Amino acid sequence: MRYEVALAGRALRVDLSSDGRFAVDGQAVAADAREVVRGRQWSVVLDGRSHEVTLVTYEPLRLDVDGVDVEVSVVDERSQSARRDGIRSASGRVEIRAPMPGLLKSVHVAEGDTVERDAPLVTLEAMKMENELRSPVRGRVTKLGYASGTKVEGGAVLAVLVQTSE
Amino acid sequence: MRAADEAYPVGAAPPAESYLNAARILAVATRAKCDAVHPGYGFLSENAAFAQAVVDAGLVFVGPPAAVQRALGEKTTARRIAREAGVPVAEGTEPLADLADARVAARRIGYPVLLKPAGGGGGKGMRLVAREEDLAPAWRMSTGEATAAFGAPALYLERAIERPRHVEMQILADQRGSVVWLGERDCSIQRRHQKLIEETPGPAVDATLRRRLGEAAVRVARAAAYRSAGTVEFLVDASAGFVFLEVNTRLQVEHPVTEMVTGLDLVALQLRIADGEALPFAQADVAPRGAAIECRITAEDARAGFVPTGGVVALVREPAGPGVRVDSALVAGVSVPTEYDPLLAKVIAHGPDRATAIVRLRRALREMRVAGLPTALPFHRHVLAEPDFVAGRYDTGYVAAHWPPRDEPELADTAAASAALVAVLARRERSARAPQAPDDGAWARAAREDALRELPT
């Protein structure tokens, strides 16, 4: 499984294989990660450096790394594709939510616009990475939550669409 | 509670049914054959009616007498006492009848003004009003908050001092008329007018100002016939001018910094004074050594503007080492309720000088771990390394100017990779569990059971 991790102004790609080996940014890493306190604290030895990582809160994801406070976002391939499908209700209403807190860099559509599936809706800058959020459906934009240049919380509703028949 | 030899329930969680229920507390005290009641520094420590009720029940109240608390607790009376004792006070009013009255007074004093409850301190219900159009909404909110916090809606106005430092003086007074001052604490690092970091000596206080503040505090204490430990609060401006603010008629949360530099046990001295003993030393014997700084670790999400947070403490590691003191209520597995003050722990460091105290406190904060709920720990770690704080350049505007931090934290490559790996492992572990599992499931349960096992049965 591949994960995109953003923390402390960095973007890291973590590949975790089924046998527990992992790679960071495509490079296999020799690391010894021990779960010292179940679900809460890990001792990691990496390239001869020892680090203690504590899970402070899971929602939002905050870690204490050797006494340094770090906010983290993790996106895996599966949830990335799941997110593409948006949150859909029976009425065909689809909410596009911010996957993480960030700056709404630009809004590519206007209320009332009809958009195709996969059309870019907004660009969200989070942890110094730009994420283009695309429409999971063909539909009409009924509401835009924020103007570009706005700082948004994780989970903020950025746009609402009503699905139209394909 | 775990440190106590005996413990009795005082009621349900809402404060009105437990810690504010004086009759219940006195019934327990009588049943347990107590001869004195120490009110701590919480709900009942500045409650004159409680102090009187303790005495009426035939017990000793460890603190100033009810009459002293009543006089100093009414803030405009306290200002009058200070003024008559020759201590400068900020230009201000008596309790105001209504909003119209406030408007006239504010025009006379000149904006910005501070709108304050007459019935109590601690920053609750206090508002800075910059313009006349802000006065009406401030009046409404402060009236509501003053009523809720002190049971008294009365408000008064005071001239606001621009970017002041909040400097307070510790005093001790015995029942025989001896009063001493034990040095100042700078408590300017505040949010919502409530203190986060306190230190002694104050970075902006020289020997001359210290003596002036100490003597002013003693004059106020004498004029009020003060007994026991107390704190006289002042605002100090950029040119070392000062005005009297209020008297806290109790031991304060930040008293450990004074204990660290003076070597005195303030609680023990309170008990000896309550027992009628004379102060065992004179002013000339007070010789503070070095510097001490305290950080309040609160159950507040510092990153989200210090919103109070509840939750279960999943993991705790308290720091130790030379010159480090930790006063803490943190135990893994304990549920932090939102009914009370958010204070979880105080981390205090002492050193031969301020620079050493800072280095020790910085190391202690990096050693400390609290998981399970957001705390103010990230704030304190940031401030202890922030250049203006390290240089001692700060006033009550510090938090607004320096928090949240603009820069991302610095992490070595291996630390960042380790964090990324743990984030992925934690994520995988969570999704392997039931999707609706609460944040602190098995571990917290296990910890709670461990904690319970430590309790005497």
* pLDDT, tens only, B68-124: 999 999 999 999 999 999 999 999 999 999 999 999 999 999 999 999 999 877 678
B202 plus B351 within the same structural domain = yes
Q: What is the ipTM of this complex?
A: 0.84
Inter-chain contact A40–B371, Cβ cutoff 8 Å? yes
CATH of the domain at A156: 2.40.50.100
Residue A78 has pLDDT above 70, yes or no: no
The full length of chain A comes to 166
Domain boundary among A46, A77, A108: A77
Residue A83 lies in a domain: no
Mean local confidence (pLDDT), B434-451: 48
B395 and B340 part of one domain:
yes
Higher pLDDT, A46 or A20: A46
**Residue B53 structure tokens:** 């009720």
Q: Percent of chain A beyond pLDDT 70?
A: 87
Determine if residue B248 is left, alpha or beta; phi over 0 gives left, psi from -120 to 50 gives alpha, anything else beta: beta
CA distance A155 to chain B (A): 15
pLDDT, average across residues B294-319: 93
Chain A CB within 8 Å of residue B108 CB? no
Interval B361-387 mean pLDDT: 97
pLDDT higher than threshold 50 for residue A75: yes
**Co-location of B223 and B106 in the same domain:** no
Average pLDDT of chain B is 90
Residues B365, B301 within the same domain: yes
Q: Is residue A24 part of a domain?
A: yes
Range 386-445 of B in CB contact (< 8 A) with A: 408-412, 414-430, 439, 441-443
Please list every residue in chain B whose beta carbon sits closer than 8 Å to the beta carbon of residue A27: none
CA distances from B170 to A28, A75, B47, B164, B204 (A): 60, 53, 20, 19, 17
Element at B146 (helix H, strand E): helix B135-150
Contact A8 B374 (CB under 8 A): no
Position B80 scores a pLDDT of 96
Mark yes or no for CB contact A7/B423 under 8 Å: yes
Confidence check: pLDDT of B175 > 50: yes
B417 chain-A contacts, CB cut-off 8 A: 12, 24, 29, 31, 46
Angstrom distance (rounded) from CA B250 to CA B63: 6
A11/A35 same-domain check: yes
Chain B residue with Cα closest to A34: B422
What is the DSSP pairing of strand B36-37 with strand B60-61? parallel
Residue B114 included in any domain: yes
- Report if residue B276 sits inside a domain: yes
B285 DSSP 8-state letter: G
Residues B98 and B148 in one domain: yes
What pLDDT shows up at residue B107? 95
Residues B155 and B288 in one domain: no
Give the gyration radius of chain B's Cα atoms.
23
Domain termination residue (choose one: B144, B159, B174): B159
Output the six-digit token pair for A44: 């990691």
- What pLDDT does residue B165 have? 96
What pLDDT is attached to residue A79?
A: 62
- The answer to the question of residue B396 being in a domain is yes
Chain A residue numbers touching B374 (CB-CB < 8 A): 56-57, 62
Residue A134 belongs to what domain range?
90-163
Residue A82 lies in a domain: no
Question: Which domain covers residue B241, as residue numbers?
Answer: 165-411
Q: pLDDT band for B457, please (50, 70, 90 cuts).
A: very low
> Do both B185 and B147 map to the same domain?
no
Rounded to whole angstroms, the Cα distance separating B102 from A67 reads 49
In order of B92, B103, B106, B115, B143, the CA distances from B132 in angstroms are 16, 7, 8, 12, 17
A110 has a pLDDT exceeding 80:
yes
Confidence bin at A127 (pLDDT 50/70/90): low
- The residue of chain B with its CA nearest to that of A10 is B416
The 10s digit of each residue's pLDDT in A37-52 is 999 999 999 988 999 9
Angstroms from A156 CA to nearest CA on chain B: 15
Nearest residue in A to B309, CA atom: A57
pLDDT band at B46 (very low <50, low <70, confident <90, very high): confident
Q: What is the pLDDT of residues B143-165, one digit of tens each?
A: 988 888 888 889 999 999 888 99
The predicted structure's pLDDT at residue A101: 75
Residues B174 and B133 in one domain: no
- Per-residue exposure over A3-38, b if at least 16 CB sit within 10 Å of its own CB, e if not: bbbbbbebebebbbeeeeebebeeeebebebeeebe
Q: Check which CATH number belongs to the domain holding A70 and give it.
A: 3.30.700.30
Same domain, A64 and A103: no
Confidence label for B451 from pLDDT (cuts 50, 70 and 90) = very low
Please tell me whether residues B318 and B396 are part of one structural domain.
yes
- The answer on B402 and B269 residing in a single domain is yes
A113 lies in the same domain as A139 = yes
The predicted pLDDT at position B392 comes to 97
Residue B201 has pLDDT above 90, yes or no: yes
* Pairwise CB contact (< 8 Å): A68 & B415: yes
The two most distant CA atoms of chain A are separated, in Å, by: 57
Is the Cβ–Cβ distance between B171 and B232 less than 8 Å? Answer: yes
Q: Spell out the residues 6+ positions from residue B354 whose beta carbon is closer than 8 angstroms to its own.
A: B199, B201, B203, B291, B293, B392
Residue A55 and residue A9 in one domain: yes
B435 has a pLDDT exceeding 50 = no
A85 within some domain: no
Percent of chain A with pLDDT over 90: 41
- Which residues in chain B have Cβ-Cβ distances shorter than 8 Å to A102? none
Here the tokens at position A106 are 């630009």
A68 Cβ contact list (under 8 Å, min separation 6): B366, B381, B409, B410, B411, B415
Distance from CA of B191 to the nearest CA of A (A): 20
Give yes or no for residue B341 having a pLDDT over 60: yes
Interior/surface letters B133-169, b for 16+ CB within 10 angstroms, e for the rest: ebbeebbeebbebbeebbebbbbbbbbbbeebbbbbb
Q: What percent of chain B has pLDDT over 70?
A: 93
Looking at the structure, tell me whether residues B153 and B221 fall in a common domain: no
Does the active-site annotation cover B250?
yes
A72 versus A84: the higher-pLDDT residue is A72
B392-424 pLDDT, tens digit per residue, is 999 999 999 999 998 888 999 999 999 999 999
More confident: B314 or A127: B314
When the pLDDT of each residue in chain A is averaged and rounded to a whole number, the result is: 85
Domain count, chain A: 2
Domain end call among A50, A77, A104: A77
What's the CA gap between B195 and B377, in Å, rounded? 14
Nearest to B354 by CA among B211, B200, B217: B200
CATH code at B105? 3.30.1490.20
pLDDT exceeds 80 at position B178: yes
Please state the domain count of chain B.
2
Cβ-defined contact of B420 to A7 (cutoff 8 Å): yes
Q: Do residue B118 and residue B212 come from a single domain? A: no
Q: B379 and B334 in contact (C-beta within 8 Å)?
A: no
For residue A82, count CB atoms less than 10 angstroms from its CB and return exposed for 0-12, middle for 13-18, buried for 19 or more: exposed
